Amino acid sequence: MRLIVPLQGVVQGRGGLFVGSLIPCCLFYFLQLYLKRRRSPPPDSDSTELPRTSSRSSLFTRGNSIGRVRVSSRAVPLAKPPDSPYYIGLERVKTDPYDRVSNRDGIIQLGLAESTLCFDLLQRWMSENLMDSMMHYSDDVDGGFDISSIAMYQPFEGLLEVRVAFADFMSRIMGGNVSFDPSNMVITAGGTPALEVLAFCLADHGNAFLIPSPYYPGFDRDIKFRTGIELIPVHCRSSDNFTVTVSALEQALNLARKRGIKVSGILFSNPSNPVGNILSRETLHAILSFAQEKNIHVISDEIFAGSVYGEDKEFVSMAEVAAASGDFDKSRVHIVYGLSKDLSLPGFRAGVIYSFHEDVLSAAKKLMRFSSMPVPVQRILISLLSDTRFIEEYMAAHRRRIRDKHFLFVEGLKQLGIPCAESGGGLYCWVDMSSLLTSYSEKGELELFEKLLSVAKINATPGTACYCIEPGWFRCCFTALADEDIPVIMERIKRLAESSTS
């Protein structure tokens, strides 16, 4: 084409002396030669493959800014490494876990509230009953076993049979003074979704719950991660054994309102986590009266209700207080429970929302499609919780073994001159290590936390992570320890204390 077009005028005798002559033809070819030399030379290659005009990467980035594809603003803070000492300690243990046989110099875990005290009883029951409890039998099916009973969709809020079993079990471990109605229950995949769903139902984004402190650090994750609801600490003091008072609630509520924050409810654990104290009937009555006066909700986390070991301690459910008097609007009362502590089954992900509010129950049932309990697990729990003889044997042993382990742990600390707060429930004790602080401050407490982790090889949750305003307190979970582990812990603390004073 480049040869034909310029010569066309010459061949056809058109264009006059200049246009039709060879001059424009020569100028055209000189221009082509000049442009060709200005171009970069092609790469040397013996291949006859045509050169690519663009790379794979340029195809994907053409017209766009170069960088990693972004995630949502909701996910960004969750993807960051944890900054709470509670989670930092848990992660550090994973890197060097203590084992009394294979790794005696590893980090001993005192930061996780789980129990292995009655695994022998659970092992026996599961080995004898696991398969039969999961396999629902029907006369309408050849061979008896009805696969549809565990393989097909079932109500997201839980089978009626498991709700009935939960209601009876909860009433039994709470002293038999209150009856739980299965129709007021929603079964959840653990205590965490129970708390989150309740938060979703009771408060709007930007609202807040009052929460007595020190409190379990996981509440921040359970409540705040996805709902956008804030937690406002209600500071309690050692002079009251960290028991919440109405005056402290009033002060926290007034400060929140001055900041323009709407308070929608009160959240607390009973027995307290991390202190282990048990709220009296009078304290529960005062909390409910305060909530009714301020027209806010009450969430009582009673997941340690069956882990009360103090012989003179009586556990009272908020459901009992609400039902005992006609003066209270029961629709503002909501209970959270689960089997991860009292039955040592955190892996089963078994939790309960118990509420007197029809709209809360209706909304929670719909939200359970995101966190429902697997049906095979429900079938096992129906059989387990309905085995009255086993449950009575288990709970008696559970309470006795917690009490014995608590005594060994607290006595060991006492011999080192380290006191503990008075407690009567839970899988932990609240330890006053202020005598080991280099400075009576949050900084001094965090320095001790790091020394415990790195030097003594002990992970104990510092009070800072629990929003305690008095430095030096640590939560120590003891129900996953063997008796022979306790002297090891005490020796490590003793060496740390001696090295700090020398």
If you write DSSP's letter for every residue of 51-74 in order, what string do you get? PPSS-HHHHHHTTS--SPPP--TT
432 is catalytic: no
Looking at domain 146-391, its CATH architecture is: 3-Layer(aba) Sandwich (3.40)
Is CATH 3.90.1150.10 the classification given to domain 80-118+395-501? yes
Instruction: Give the start-end residues of each E strand in 276-330.
Output: 297-301
How far apart CA 17 and CA 445 sit, in angstroms, is 100
What single string gives the DSSP state of each residue in 326-376?
Answer: TTS-GGGEEEEEESTTTS--GGG--EEEEES-HHHHHHHHHHGGGSPPPHH
How far apart CA 448 and CA 345 sit, in angstroms, is 32
Instruction: Give the start-end residues of each E strand in 30-137.
Output: 108-109
What type of residue sits at position 450? E
Task: Please tell me which residue in 211, 229, 266, 301 is annotated as part of the active site.
Answer: 301
How far apart CA 368 and CA 374 sit, in angstroms, is 11
Q: Domain spans of the chain?
A: 80-118+395-501, 146-391
The per-residue pLDDT for range 8-59, each reduced to its tens digit, is 444 444 445 444 555 554 555 556 655 556 555 555 544 445 455 444 554 4
Which CA distances in Å does 381 have to 338, 352, 362, 365, 393?
12, 13, 24, 20, 16
What type of residue sits at position 160? L
108 is catalytic: no
DSSP 473: E
DSSP SS3 for 194: helix
Residue linked to tokens 């003066």: 327
Task: Please tell me which residue in 303, 353, 380, 402 is annotated as part of the active site.
Answer: 303
29 is catalytic: no
What type of residue sits at position 445? E
Chain length of the chain: 502
Bridge partners (DSSP) of residue 293 are none
How far apart CA 197 and CA 237 sit, in angstroms, is 30
Mean pLDDT of the region 395-401: 94
How far apart CA 496 and CA 456 sit, in angstroms, is 6
Which CA distances in Å does 311 have to 33, 240, 342, 402?
104, 21, 17, 12
Contact 167, 159 (CB under 8 A): no
pTM: 0.81
Lowest mean pLDDT among 58-72, 123-137, 144-158, 204-218: 58-72
134-147: b or e for each residue (b if 16 or more CB lie within 10 Å)?
A: bebeeeeeeeeebe
The per-residue pLDDT for range 306-338, each reduced to its tens digit, is 999 877 778 999 999 888 877 788 899 999 999
- Residue 391, pLDDT above cutoff 90: yes
What pLDDT score does 217 carry?
94
Mean pLDDT of the region 266-284: 94
216 is catalytic: yes
Task: Please tell me which residue in 216, 309, 354, 394 is annotated as part of the active site.
Answer: 216
Report CA Rg, the chain. 34
Domains 80-118+395-501 and 146-391 share a fold: no
Task: Please tell me which residue in 88, 296, 341, 391 is annotated as part of the active site.
Answer: 341
Mean residue pLDDT across the chain: 85
Which CA distances in Å does 162 have to 155, 294, 496?
11, 36, 49
- Residue 396, pLDDT above cutoff 70: yes
Of residues 302 and 46, the one with the higher pLDDT is 302
